Structure 1
Amino acid sequence: MKLSWVTISFFASILYLFSLCNASASGNSPLPNIVIIFADDMGYGDVSALNPAARTQTPAIDKLVDEGITFTEAHASASVCTPSRYGLLTGRYAFRSEHAAHGIGGFTPPVIEPERKTLATLLKNAGYTTACIGKWHLGLGWQTNNGKNPGMDWETGWSNVDFSKEVTSGPNDYGFDYSFIHPASLDIPPYVFLRNHKAVDADMILTTDHYPARLENTEYAWDKKHTNDLAVYWEKGVWWRQGEMSRSFRVENCLSEITKEGVRFIEKQVDENPDKPFFLYLPLTAPHTPWMPSEQSRGKSSVGLYGDFVLDVDHTVEQIKQALIRNGITKNTMLIFSSDNGAYWPQEEIELYAHDSNQGRKGQKGDVWDGGHRIPLIISWPEKIKKAASCKQLVSLTDFFATFCHLTGQKPEANQAEDSFSFWHVLNGETEKVVRESMVHHSSDGFYGIRMGNWKFIDGLGSGGFSYPTKLPPVKKGPSGQLYNMKEDVVENNNIYFQHPEKVAELSSLMNEIIEKGHIRGK
C-alpha cells in the first residue's frame, strides 16, 4: 500500500514528539528512571559516610556516596514534615500556603492546591509512569458517615470517617498514576494503607484493641510530652497516638510493607513498560517514631532503637538498589536519597549515645537553626555521574522541580514552583557553580531565617522549634534577632547581631521581600 505524503508526515511528527519525550536534556540518551527515597526525621549525621564520628551504620547509603554526588549544604524548605513535603513536590515554600505551612493530622483535607503542579505532574507530562508509595502527610479528602467534616474524638479514639469509601482527593489527583500510602506519620491516626485512594482494609479497630497501652517495664522519657494517657507508650521512642487502625495493619511492619510495594512497582514497570521511564516517590515512615526496628536490625547498632531503625532505612535503600540491579536498569536510573528535615535528636540523646544525628549543627527537627533543616542529599546516576563528587553549594528540596524541568526540556509555568532553582549543572559536573544566592528557612513555630553566602539571619530569639528555648522576648537594649557568620560559626553560637547592623538590615529586607513577593527566578 502506498502511503500519502500527509500520512508519512503525520507519522514522522509523532515519532519526533515521541523522541522528545524520551530524550534527556543531555542529548539523545533516554530519560532516566527516577527514584526518590525520602527518609522521615533522619539527620545528616546518621549517614555514616558523611559523619566521621557516626555511631550509626548505613552501608547501602554509603555506597551511593561512593558513586554519586553528595550535597553538603542541602536543606529542607521547612523543618517539619508537611511543609517540607509540600516544598519538595511543588517547588514552592510552604509558608506561601496557609494550609501547608504547619504540620497536620491524619484527617486534615489536602493542603496542595488543586491547580498546583507537582513533580509527578511535571514528569507525567514528559512521558513518565508515576507512583507515590509511603507516607503522604499532605492531607486527604476523607468521606464521613455523618456529612460533617472529618475528625476524631480524642477521648474515644473513633472518627466519623467512612473507610469503606474512597477518598475524594489524594496523590492520584496530583500527578501520580499509582499510590499506596499511609496518611501521615506513623504515630498519627488513622493507621491504614490506601491503594489508589481506597482503604486496603476498611475493617477498623482501635490501636489499643491490639496493642497494650503500657508494658510492665514502661518508663517515661522526654518524648512522653507528645502523648496523652490514651496513647500507646512503651518506652522512649516507642509510642503512637490512640486512634483507628485497620484490623490487619501492624505498626512494626509498616516500613517493610512500603519497601515491598516499592520493589513490586519497579518490577512491574520493567515487565509491562520496559521502554517507558518511571518516577517512584518513596517517602518512608522511618526513622520517625515509633522506633520499631525489624528483628533483623534490632540490637545491631550502638545507638539504641533509633540506630537500629536507621539500619532498617538503609536496608530499604539496599532492597531498592538490588531491584534496579536485578532488572538491569541501574545505569540509567537516578536514585536519590534524602530526608524531610533534621533528626528529632535532643542534647540528651547526643550525650547518652555520643552520636550527633545532625552532625555538628545546632538544633534539631522543628528548629530554625541548621540542625532543623539541613539534610542528607545524595544522587546516584551511573549514566550521567561517572565518579563520586561533593557539592558545597546551597541547595533546597524545592530545587528538584526546576532541575527536572531542565532534565525533561520543560519550563515552569507562571505562578508555579516560584522557589525552585535548577541544579542540573551540578549533575553535569559543575559542582562549584552557584545554584541559588539565598534560601529562606521556616521553623515549626513560625520563625523565619535567611541564608545568603556565609551569613544567616533569624528574625527572632530562640530555636523557633523543638529545642529549648523556643522563643525568647528581647531584653532592654538587647538584640531582637540573630545573625551568624556560618563560615566562622557553623554551630550558630556567637550572635553578632549588633556587630553588623548593615548586614541585619540587608538580610531582613531581602527575606521580607522573598516572603511577600517570591523569588525572581534564576537562569
Structure 2
Amino acid sequence: MKNWFRVSLFILLILFRGSDLLGQGFDPQLDPPNIVIIFADDMGYGDIKALNPLSKIETPALDQLVAEGISFSNAHASASVCTPSRFGLLTGEYAFRTPKAAQGISGFAPLVMQENRHTMARFLKNAGYRTGIVGKWHLGLDWVTKDGKPAVLDAESGHSNVDYSQPVSAGPNDFGFDYSYIHPASLDIPPYVFLENHRILDPEVILTTEVYPIRKENTEFSWDKKHSNDQAVYWEKGVWWRQGEMAPSFRVEDCLNEITAQGLAFIQRQSADSPFFLYLPLTGPHTPWLPSEEHKGKSGAGLYGDFVMDIDQVVAKVKEQLQGQGLLENTLLIFSSDNGAYWPEEEILLYGHDSNRGVRGQKGDVWDGGHRVPLLISWPKGIKEKATYPGLVSLTDLFATFGDLLDHELPESAAIDSYSFLPVLQGDTGFVSRTEMVHHSSSGMFAIRTQEWKFIDGLGSGGFTYPGRLDPEKAGPSGQLYRIEVDPYEKENRYTDYPRVVEQLKSQLELIVGQN
C-alpha cells in the first residue's frame, strides 16, 4: 500500500511538472513556439529608450518588449560588421572559421556558405517549421552572368555582367528557407533589386542615377563621404548610396516598407496548426538614412534617430499582425542588431545621443561599441516576468537555444560556437551559458573576453574609429588588455601590468581561432 502511494505520488509529480512546463510554453513536442527574429542593421544598444534613459529617440514598441520579456545587457554579435555577423547568427559558428564569410562583401559576391552548411533555418525546417526570410541577405548569391564569368560590377559605368532574367543558381532557399524575399546586400550597395525565391523581380534594370540626382543644390559632404565615390548618390550626411543597377520599380526610400509588408504577408499565410520561423533582417537604420515622413524630425538624433523610430514601428506592426491572428501568445519574438551603430564621436557630441550607450567604439571596431548589441526576447506563453540577464551571450547562441527548447539534438558538427541559454528563458537569470567569447573586427583584429578580462591582439580600434591599427612603440605594449569587470569602457590598457594574463588569453584566443 505504501509503495503504491509512493508510485502514485511520483506519477502525479511528473504530471504536474509536465503540465507546468506546458503552461510555460516549454513542451517541445506538444506546443512548439513560433519564432520571429527582427534583425536591425547597424542599430545601437543605446538607441532603445528602455535600455538607455538618455536616448533621444522614442521607441515605444521596443520598450514594451523590454517590459514584457527578457533583455540581455551583455549580448554581442559574433563580429562587428554585416556579413560575418549574419553568418554567425544563422550558423551558430564564428565566421572566421569560413574565410569567405569573415569580411564584408559586395552585392555581387558569391555565396559565402558551403552547400551542405547547417543553418538555423534548415534545423527548424527539419523540426517541422515553415521557414521564411524577408529582408537583407548579405551572404552572397550565385548570380547567372551574360558572359559565364563571375559576377562583377564596373565601378565607372555602374553596370554589371549579371543576367537578371535568370534566377540565381544558389541562395537562401538552399539553406533551409522554404520562402525567401530578399535584397542582396545593404541598401547602399548595388544591385537594388528584390528576389523572390531566387528569381529577380522586375529584371529590366536601370541605373540609380536615372532616377536619383547625384547631388542636391544644398549638398554638404560629411565624415561618411569617404565611403562613396563621385558617381555615387550623396545628398547629405547619412543619405547616400553607391551607383549601380536598379529594378525600374525599386525605390530606395520605400525599401523598408516593402520588406515590412512582405514580412507581414508571410505571417498572414501562417496558422496555429503548424509552427513557423521568420527571419526578418531589416535594411535600416543602416545608411541611407531615409526616415518616413511620419517620423522625420521627430527624434533628437537627426535623420538616424528618425529612422530608428521607423524600425520601432516595424516591431509594433509585427506584434499587431501576430496578435490579430491569435499567434502572439506562443511566438518567441526576438529583436537584435547585426552590430553596433555606426555612430562616431562627432555625432555623440552633435546630438548628445550615445547610440552605443557609453561603451567604446562603433560599428567595425573590436572595442565593445562594434559588437555589443540589443537583444530582446518576448514570449507571452513562456516568459511571464520582466527580467534583465547580465551574463555573456553571443547571437551564435540562439541556434543551440532553439535546439534545447525543442528538445532536438543539433546535427553533428553544427553550431560549434553556440551555447544554449534556455534556462534564462525559463527564469534562471543566474545561469552561466558561456565563460568566454571571441570578437572579430572589420579588419580582422581579434579579441577574447572572459567575465573579468578582455584581451585584444593588436593596437587601435581594428575598425572604423581612427586609428584603425597602430604599430607598437619600442618597449611598449603590442596589444590591449582591459579589466572589463571594473573597466567596461575599455579606458585603461593593463597589458604591461599583467603579462601572465596576456599570455594565457592570447594562447586561449589562438587555440579557438585555430580550430577551423
TM-score, length of structure 2 as denominator length: 0.94
Shift in Å, 1:25: 5.2
What does the per-residue CA deviation read over 1:62-102, in whole Å, with 9 as the maximum and x for residues that have no partner? 00000000000000000000000000000000000110000
CA distance in 2, matches of 1:461, 1:165: 47
Report the counterpart of residue 160 of structure 1 in structure 2: 161
CA contact (8 A) 2:84 2:95 kept: yes
Q: What residue is the counterpart of 2:51 in the other structure?
A: 50
CA-to-aligned-CA distance 1:306-358 (integer Å, 9 cap, x gap)? 00000000010000010011111111000000000000000000000000000
Instruction: Say which SS state the counterpart of residue 270 (structure 2) adopts.
Output: helix
Shift, 1:486, TM fit:
1.1
What amino acid sits opposite 1:102 in the alignment?
Q
Q: What is the match of residue 15 of structure 2? A: none
Distance 1:183 1:104 in 2: 10
Q: How do residues 69-80 of structure 1 correspond to structure 2 at under 5 angstroms?
A: 69-80=70-81
SS in 2 for 1:155: coil
Q: Write the deviation string for residues 467-502 of structure 1: whole angstroms up to 9, x where unpaired.
A: 011000000110000000112111101000111111
1:416 deviates by 1.6
CA distance in 1, matches of 2:345, 2:406: 44
Q: Does the CA-based 8 Å contact 2:438-2:509 persist in structure 1?
A: yes
Q: Which residue type is aligned with residue 246 of structure 1?
A: A
Give distance in 1, aligned partners of 2:504 and 2:411.
30
Aligned to 2:112: 111
Give the distance between the partners of 1:430 and 1:417, measured in 2 at CA.
Answer: 23
Indicate whether 1:469 and 2:467 are aligned. yes
CA distance in structure 2 between the aligned counterparts of 1:492 and 1:469, rounded to whole angstroms: 15
- The answer to whether residue 482 in structure 2 is matched with residue 484 in structure 1 is yes
Alignment match of 1:395 (pick from 393, 396, 405):
393
TM-superposed deviation, 1:430 = 0.9
User: Structure 2 CA distance, aligned partners of 1:79 and 1:28?
Assistant: 36
| In the alignment, structure 1 residue 446 sits paired with structure 2 residue 444 | yes
CA distance in 1, matches of 2:430, 2:495: 30
- Note if contact 1:24-1:409 (Cα within 8 Å) is conserved in structure 2: no
How far the C-alpha of 1:414 sits from its partner, in A, is 2.5
- SS of 1:336's partner is strand
In 1, the alpha carbon distance for the partners of 2:375 and 2:279 equals 15
- Residue 13 of structure 2 corresponds to none
Which amino acid counterpart does residue 174 of structure 1 have in structure 2?
Answer: F
Q: Answer whether contact 1:79 1:342 (CA < 8 A) is retained.
A: yes
* Partner secondary structure for residue 180 of structure 2: strand
Aligned to 1:130: 131
Contact 2:137–2:183 (CA under 8 A) maintained in structure 1: yes
The 5-angstrom pairing of residues 22-37 of structure 1 reads 26=27, 29-37=30-38
Do 2:29 and 2:406's aligned partners in 1 also have CA atoms closer than 8 Å?
no
On the 8 A contact 2:97/2:515 being kept in 1, the answer is no
Task: Write the distance in 2 (CA, Å) between the matches of 1:242 and 1:133.
Answer: 24
1:292 aligns with 2:293: no
How far, CA to CA, are the matches of 1:301 and 1:358 in structure 2? 16
Q: Deviations over 1:224-266 (max 9, x none)?
A: 0000000000000000000000000000000000001011111
Equivalent position of 2:240 in the other structure? 239
Matches within 5 A, 1:401-412: 401-412=399-410
Letter of the aligned partner of 2:253 in structure 1?
E
User: How far off is 1:113 after superposition?
Assistant: 1.2
Residues 181 and 195 in structure 1, CA contact (< 8 A), matched pair in contact too: yes
CA distance in 1, matches of 2:328, 2:430: 27
- Partner of 1:455 in structure 2? 453
Name the aligned partner's letter for residue 125 of structure 1.
Answer: N
Tell me the TM-score normalized by structure 1: 0.93
Q: Match for residue 363 of structure 1? A: 361
Q: Is the 8 A contact 2:28 2:407 kept in 1?
A: no
Query: Could you tell me which amino acid in structure 2 is paired with residue 439 of structure 1?
Result: M
- 2:455–2:480: 8 Å Cα contact kept in structure 1? yes
Root mean square deviation of aligned Cα: 1.1
Query: Greater shift after overlay, 85-94 or 430-439?
Result: 430-439
Contact 1:24 1:407 in 2 (8 A): no
> Aligned to 1:331, what secondary structure does the other structure show?
helix
Is 1:311 aligned with 2:312? Answer: no
Shift of 1:392: 0.4
Superposed displacement of residue 415, structure 1: 2.1
Distance 1:476 1:426, change over 3 A: same
Spell out, residue by residue over 1:87-126, the C-alpha distance to the aligned partner (whole angstroms, 9 max, x if none): 0000000000110000000000000111111110010011
The unaligned stretches of length 5 or more in structure 1 are: 1-22, 519-523
Give the aligned residue type for 2:297: G
In 1, Cα distance between equivalents of 2:360 and 2:158: 37
Q: How does 1:182-331 map to 2 (within 5 A)?
A: 182-270=183-271, 274-331=272-329
Q: Deviations over 1:356-407 (max 9, x none)?
A: 0000100000000000000000000011100100100000010011111112
Counterpart CA distance in 2 for 1:89 and 1:268 is 23
Q: Which amino acid aligns with 1:241?
A: R
Contact 1:143 1:165 in 2 (8 A): yes
Check whether the contact 1:150–1:161 (CA below 8 A) recurs between aligned residues. Answer: yes
The amino acid across from 2:505 in the alignment is L
Which sections of structure 2, spanning at least 5 residues, go unmatched? 1-23
After alignment, is 487-496 or 33-42 more displaced?
487-496
Aligned residue for 2:100, secondary structure, equals coil
Matched with 1:87 is 88
Answer yes or no: is 1:40 the counterpart of 2:38.
no
CA distance, structure 1, for counterparts of residue 29 and residue 406 of structure 2: 12
Match of 1:265, SS state, is helix
1:148 aligns with 2:149: yes
Which of 417, 420, 423 in structure 1 is aligned with 2:421?
Answer: 423
Of 408, 412, 415, the match for 1:414: 412
How many residue pairs match? The answer is: 493
Counterpart residue number, 1:379: 377
**Distance (whole Å) between structure 2 residues aligned to residue 81 and residue 244 of structure 1:** 21
Q: Which residue of 2 aligns with 1:433?
A: 431
CA shift for structure 1 position 29: 4.4
Aligned twin of 1:493:
491
* AA in 2 matched with 1:249: F
Q: Alpha-carbon deviations, 1:153-175, whole Å to 9, x = none?
A: 10000000000100011110000
Counterpart code for 2:378: S
Code of the aligned partner of 1:160: N
How far, CA to CA, are the matches of 1:263 and 1:517 in structure 2? 40
Q: Deviations over 1:270-317 (max 9, x none)?
A: 2xxx30000000000000000001111111111110000000000100
**How far apart, CA to CA, are the structure 1 residues paired with 2:312 and 2:286?**
14
What's the counterpart of residue 16 of structure 2? Answer: none
Q: Is the 8 A contact 1:24 1:408 kept in 2?
A: no
Instruction: Please tell me the residue identity of whatever aligns with 2:89.
Output: L
Aligned to 2:11: none
Distance in 2 of aligned mates of 1:130 and 1:488: 43
Q: Is the 8 A contact 1:152 1:158 kept in 2?
A: yes
CA distance in 1, matches of 2:242, 2:515: 39
